[in-house]
């Protein structure tokens, strides 16, 4: 299953748009995230979301441009997503 799922998730990750980041941010009341959507997209574009070092790098970056409560919300949303779909085995 993970051999099929991982490439699909990577493809979708690299197809994210600024509008999708803004939509997520506004839907979850994250105004600074919406404001910085273009910068966030440019930052994450080259990253592999399944590399733990890249996730640390991403959240370190987010902490420099977003309020702590928004970073915490995004972090918790990612954890919830990983747990609800049992994706932990996909990470390096």
Q: Give residue 51's pLDDT.
A: 93
Q: Give residue 1's pLDDT.
A: 57
Number of domains making up the chain: 1
pTM of the entire predicted model: 0.89
Q: Which domain holds residue 78?
A: 2-90
Q: Give residue 2's pLDDT.
A: 63
In this prediction, the residues of the chain whose per-residue pLDDT falls under 50 are: none
- Whole-angstrom CA distances from 17 to 5, 23, 35, 67, 85 are 21, 10, 14, 22, 23
Phi, psi of 72 (to 5 degrees): -60, -40
Q: Give residue 86's pLDDT.
A: 81
């Amino acid at each position: 299953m993970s051999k099929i799922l991982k490439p699909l998730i990577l493809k979708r990750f690299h197809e994210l748009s600024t509008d999708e980041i803004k939509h997520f941010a506004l839907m979850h009341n994250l105004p600074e995230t919406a404001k910085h959507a273009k910068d966030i997209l440019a930052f994450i574009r080259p990253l592999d979301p399944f590399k733990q070092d890249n996730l640390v790098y991403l959240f370190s970056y987010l902490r420099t441009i977003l309020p702590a409560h928004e970073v915490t919300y995004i972090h918790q949303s990612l954890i919830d997503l990983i747990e609800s779909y049992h994706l932990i085995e996909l990470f390096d």
